[in-house]
């Protein structure tokens, strides 16, 4: 039976563990992780709990007309959903197009590292909407995705690349990822990115109510669990890193443990802190800085009335200084 991860992915995981003491979050969404993410997403979209997904969805729906009006012609639109999860980020776009009878031909291109996520996203969209689905399993950290964007531009389609759910804030190297997308875009393509804004006074509440939960711990522990590590071998700890404006979650070992990843031995030592994920929160200034330094022109920066979530609509800038 094939393993959960490819050999290349296993090498990356070993290197990240031994080199940086990190389990990259992208490995959490494989296998059981897909169901675990479903629980978090559902609770986060709940009107009463008002999580990240709730704020993002509401802001996206309110701003939909403004966003889509940036395209001169909406006749043929291709939605490239990067890190698609269940594909629910595109519902507001598809609902809007259906309601207004705009966008005669719409194509949906979900991209995800997790096969399970891709299947679920494709199934959800095909069930609810009449669109062509073109799935791609790939790791967007490993290079540009111009093969996908070029093919999907054929026959007069416009590309809207979507990178939502504060997935940017989870990346170990955010500039590398944004550079990969920029290198995949022509001056006619647009990218929309959803990011959480820094509300410093709310951080301790966010940590308690969102990150310090069993369902979040279960998700981010998925890769270690797959290799036989037990939650009882250590403890879960979430803290805010003031210097980097990011929430960080660690697994702290309470004893030495040894396990194998593929043919390699891994030893983790008592007291070692393994980074399970980080989630960067942005200031307006931080957004302007990272997008301009990675070669984008911001067309529109939209935030919600609570000032805790932003959508950045941008295009590659032609000249860089
Ligand atoms: C936080 S979830 C967000 C899902 C969805 N966009 C949403 O807002 O609900 C992140 C998604 O991105 C995918 N992902 C994370 N890193 C990735 C990478 N390097 N390459 C491809 N997919 C990745 C995960 O598998 C997961 O489905």
Over residues 259-283, the pLDDT tens digits come to: 999 999 999 999 999 999 999 999 9
Q: Which residues are CB-neighbours of 128 under 8 A, at least 6 positions away? A: 91, 94
pLDDT score for 300: 96
For the chain, what percent of residues have pLDDT higher than 90? Answer: 84
Angle, to 10 degrees, between the axis of helix 115-128 and the axis of helix 91-100? Answer: 20
Q: Give start-end residues of each CATH 3.40.50.150 domain in the chain.
A: 39-197+282-316
Tell which CATH architecture fits domain 39-197+282-316: 3-Layer(aba) Sandwich (3.40)
What's the CA-to-centroid distance between 117 and ligand 1, angstroms?
A: 8
| pLDDT value at 320 more than 70 | no
Whether 258 has a pLDDT exceeding 90, the answer reads yes
Task: Please tell me if the CB atom of residue 52 comes closer than 6 angstroms to any atom of ligand 1.
Answer: no
Coil, helix or strand at residue 283:
coil
Confidence of residue 284 (pLDDT cuts 50, 70, 90): very high
Q: How far apart are the two ends of the chain, measured CA to CA in Å? A: 51
C-alpha 167 – ligand 1 centre gap (Å): 6
Q: Residue 260 and residue 264: Cα distance in Å, rounded?
A: 5
Tell me, what's the pLDDT at 103?
A: 79
pLDDT band at 254; cut points 50, 70, 90:
very high
Q: Which of 25, 23, 69 is nearest to 273 (CA)?
A: 23
Residue 321, pLDDT above cutoff 60? no
Contact status, residue 172 vs residue 24, Cβ threshold 8 Å: yes
- pLDDT band of residue 198 (cuts 50, 70, 90) is very high
In the predicted model, is pLDDT for residue 288 greater than 70? yes
- Residue from 112, 122, 137, 193 whose mutation best tests the ligand 1 pocket (most atoms within 8 A of CB): 112
Interval between CA 29 and ligand 1 midpoint (Å): 8
Q: What's the pTM value of the predicted model, to 2 decimals?
A: 0.95
* Ligand 1 touching residue 87 (CB < 6 A): no
**pLDDT score for 1:** 60
Strand partners, 163: 193
Phi, psi of 54 (to 5 degrees): -65, -50
pLDDT of residue 210: 87
Cα separation, 48 vs 182, in Å, equals: 37
Whether ligand 1 lies within 6 angstroms of the CB of 136 is answered as: no
For residue 112, report the distance from its CA to the centre of ligand 1, in Å. Answer: 6
């Amino acid at each position: 039976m094939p393993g959960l991860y490819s050999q290349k992915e296993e090498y990356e995981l070993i290197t990240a563990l031994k080199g940086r003491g990190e389990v990259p979050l992208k490995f959490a969404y494989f296998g059981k992780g897909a169901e675990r993410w479903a629980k978090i997403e559902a609770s986060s979209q709940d009107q009463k709990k008002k999580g990240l997904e709730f704020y993002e969805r509401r802001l996206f729906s309110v701003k939909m007309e403004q966003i889509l009006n940036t395209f001169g012609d909406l006749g043929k639109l291709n939605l490239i959903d990067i890190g698609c999860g269940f594909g629910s980020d595109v519902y507001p776009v598809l609902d809007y197009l259906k309601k207004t009878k705009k966008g005669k031909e719409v194509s949906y291109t979900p991209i995800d590292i997790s096969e399970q996520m891709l299947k679920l996203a494709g199934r959800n969209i095909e069930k609810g909407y009449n669109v062509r689905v073109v799935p791609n399993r790939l790791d967007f950290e490993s290079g540009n995705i111009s093969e996908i964007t070029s093919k999907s531009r054929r026959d007069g389609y416009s590309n809207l690349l979507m990178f939502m759910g504060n997935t940017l804030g989870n990346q170990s190297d955010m500039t590398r990822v944004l550079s990969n997308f920029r290198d995949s875009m022509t001056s006619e393509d647009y990218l929309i990115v959803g990011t959480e804004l820094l509300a410093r006074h709310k951080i301790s509440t966010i940590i308690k109510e969102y990150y310090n939960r069993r369902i979040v711990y279960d998700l981010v522990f998925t890769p270690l669990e797959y290799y036989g590590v037990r939650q009882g071998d250590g403890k879960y700890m979430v803290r805010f890193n003031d210097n980097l404006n990011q929430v960080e979650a660690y697994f702290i070992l309470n004893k030495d443990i040894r396990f194998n990843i593929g043919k390699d031995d891994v030893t983790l030592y008592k007291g070692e802190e393994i980074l399970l994920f980080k989630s960067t929160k942005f200031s307006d200034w931080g957004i302007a800085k990272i997008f301009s330094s990675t070669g984008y022109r911001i067309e529109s920066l939209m935030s919600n009335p609570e000032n805790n979530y932003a959508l950045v609509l941008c295009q590659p800038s032609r000249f860089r200084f």
